[in-house]
């Protein structure tokens, strides 16, 4: 007989809205070998992350799509929660994961006695570049594109299989799992290998226990410091470029909605709900730039204005070294000199006018130690040694050897989409007319918004309000008379009354 102590814990959970990308794709194959591609829409967001109140370092990952299903971690214990199969009274089963799996699931390899580093130790001469790259990587969002392959042992109910895989991915995102947990640990382990992590050596531990990158999966939920060091080494060596590849949202077909995190027609920016937004340059309530901001993403948001995207010297310094030579290479239209690719994947030749916006061309550089993953070529042009590079990172990752968007290409011009255009193209498209947009009750400010007269409210001055705009707030109103009266009646009059009472008391 098993005796269990029953406790009630309060879990605080938050809806994980950004868990599934809108372009979530499902591939399936029937018995005849025919493939089918579908884009299932998740109409109900029912995946949650949270914590157990009062317990530090606790973690909860739950799905409420069809009953409660997920995992709860606290006090060094891991619990699984799932509906009881075929229950008519909505019963659920809560159990310790360690009671389910008695033997660790091995990952098909023998645990090494020592961890073999995936990267050589850093050379002293690389320290400055490493620090610059580290600083550059920290504030950026990284994206891991996950593909789950399910065999026919999962039967042929595509909807049920999809829900199970999505639930597992939700657990995986919190580095956790259940029977899903052990599968999630294996997936996290294999993803760790993709991110440069080796198996943990005997001196790599997590609070005295094994970690995710140990040779077997036993429901553990933490990466070791050894894994963290491996991953940092990968990033500093330039191996994390694919993590900058944000999944495209261009194919999403939905009604524009401010606060969904997608930049859609009519929006200048979208950083999510107001309680989620941390972007100082974006007004989450209106999906517009904040006052004084001319952009809302990347380095250009620095100091609330356009930040010089980069110079050619800066890019050469990160790829090779200073100086440039562009025109000869970029008009060739090959892998080392082009202005992007066509829809068929062919290299596009730059025109002479756009040649400064193709591949970065450098001179006076050290070619003995090229960037990680780069293939370089050297050519003598007009007595100068021109060096360029090509990074083969796949068709969905932009080659970092391209000139950065926003780089100056001529006086008053900048690079946008491999073209040298007027720098005004970087400014937001401000469409505002005082008479029509502001209904004749205000003027257009420099951000393209209506600044309403007193008595009318933003954003379009078509309703009563205190004036002003969504950028600057209400118009300034003269409150001097009101403030003077308040001071007189709340401060001067009580002091006079008190003084009279004191005089009367002293007299009698």
Q: Which residues pair with 89 in a beta bridge?
A: none
Inter-residue long-range contacts of 464-469, CB under 8 Å, 24+ positions, other chains counted: 467/442, 469/442, 469/445
Residue 189, marked binder: yes
Count CB atoms within 10 A of the CB of residue 72: 24
> DSSP label at 285?
T
Residue 199, marked binder: yes
190 in catalytic set: yes
Name the catalytic one among 190, 232, 276, 453: 190
Q: Which residues pair with 334 in a beta bridge?
A: 337
Query: Is the CB of residue 244 less than 8 Å from the CB of residue 298?
Result: no
d(CA 287, CA 267): 6
CB-based contacts of 312, cutoff 8 Å, min separation 6? 323, 324, 360, 362, 403, 407
Residue 45, marked binder: no
Count CB atoms within 10 A of the CB of residue 302: 13
d(CA 449, CA 447): 6
The alpha carbons of the chain give a radius of gyration, in whole angstroms, of 30
Nearest C-alpha neighbor of 61 from the set 9, 99, 12, 7 = 12
**Angstrom distances, CA of residue 168 to CA of 37, 47, 182, 185, 237:** 21, 11, 10, 10, 31
Count CB atoms within 10 A of the CB of residue 375: 13
d(CA 269, CA 265): 10
What tokens appear for 421 in the block?
């255009």
The gap between the terminal CA atoms of the chain, to the nearest Å, is 90
Sheet containing 413-416: order of strands: 408-410, 413-416, 419-422
d(CA 181, CA 77): 13
Task: Please give the annotated binding residues for Zn(2+), written as ranges.
Answer: 189, 193, 199
Task: Please give the annotated binding residues, written as ranges.
Answer: 189, 193, 199
Residues recognised as catalytic: 190
């Amino acid at each position: 007989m098993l005796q269990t102590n029953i406790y009630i814990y309060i879990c605080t959970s938050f809806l994980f809205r950004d868990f599934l990308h809108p372009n979530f794709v499902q591939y399936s194959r029937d018995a005849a070998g025919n493939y089918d591609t579908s884009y299932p829409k998740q109409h109900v967001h029912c995946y949650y992350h949270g914590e157990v109140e009062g317990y530090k370092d606790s973690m909860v990952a739950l799905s409420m799509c069809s009953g409660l299903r997920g995992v709860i971690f606290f006090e060094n214990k891991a619990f699984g929660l799932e509906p009881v199969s075929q229950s008519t009274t909505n019963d659920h089963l809560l159990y310790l994961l360690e009671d389910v799996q008695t033997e660790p699931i091995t990952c098909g390899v023998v645990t090494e006695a020592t961890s073999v580093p995936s990267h050589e130790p850093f050379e002293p001469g690389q320290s400055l570049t490493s620090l610059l790259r580290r600083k550059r990587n920290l504030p950026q969002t990284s994206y891991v594109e996950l593909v789950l392959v399910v065999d026919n042992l999962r039967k042929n109910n595509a909807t049920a299989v999809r829900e199970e895989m999505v639930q597992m991915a939700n657990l995986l995102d919190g580095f956790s799992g259940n029977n899903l947990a052990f599968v999630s640990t294996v997936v996290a382990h294999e993803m760790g290998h993709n991110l440069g992590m080796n198996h943990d050596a005997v001196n790599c531990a997590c609070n005295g226990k094994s970690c995710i990158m140990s040779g077997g999966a036993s429901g553990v939920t933490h990466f070791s410091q050894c894994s963290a060091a491996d991953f940092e080494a990968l990033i500093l060596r330039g191996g994390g470029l694919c993590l900058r590849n944000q999944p495209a949202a261009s194919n999403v077909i939905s009604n524009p909605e401010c606060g969904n995190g997608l930049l859609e027609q009519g929006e200048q920016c979208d950083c999510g709900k107001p309680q989620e937004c941390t972007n100082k340059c974006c007004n989450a309530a209106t999906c517009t730039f904040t006052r004084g901001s001319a952009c809302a993403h990347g380095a250009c948001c620095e100091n609330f204005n356009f930040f010089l995207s980069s110079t050619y010297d800066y890019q050469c310094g990160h790829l090779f070294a200073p100086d440039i030579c562009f025109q000869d290479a970029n008009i060739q239209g090959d892998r080392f000199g082009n202005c992007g690719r066509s829809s068929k994947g062919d290299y596009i030749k730059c025109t002479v006018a756009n040649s400064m916006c193709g591949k970065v061309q450098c001179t006076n550089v050290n070619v003995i130690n090229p960037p990680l993953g780069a293939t370089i070529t050297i050519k003598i042009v007009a007595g100068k040694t021109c060096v360029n590079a090509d990074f083969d990172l796949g068709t969905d990752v932009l080659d970092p050897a391209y000139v950065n968007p926003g780089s100056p290409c001529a006086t008053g011009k900048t690079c946008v989409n491999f073209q040298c255009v007027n720098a005004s193209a970087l400014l937001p498209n401000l469409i505002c007319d005082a008479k029509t947009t502001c209904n004749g009750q205000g003027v257009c400010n420099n951000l393209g918004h209506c600044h309403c007269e007193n008595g009318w409210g933003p954003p379009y001055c078509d309703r009563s309000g205190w004036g002003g705009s969504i950028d600057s707030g209400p118009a300034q109103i003269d409150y001097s008379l009101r403030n003077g009266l308040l001071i007189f009646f709340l401060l001067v009059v009580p002091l006079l009354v008190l003084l009279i009472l004191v005089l009367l008391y002293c007299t009698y």
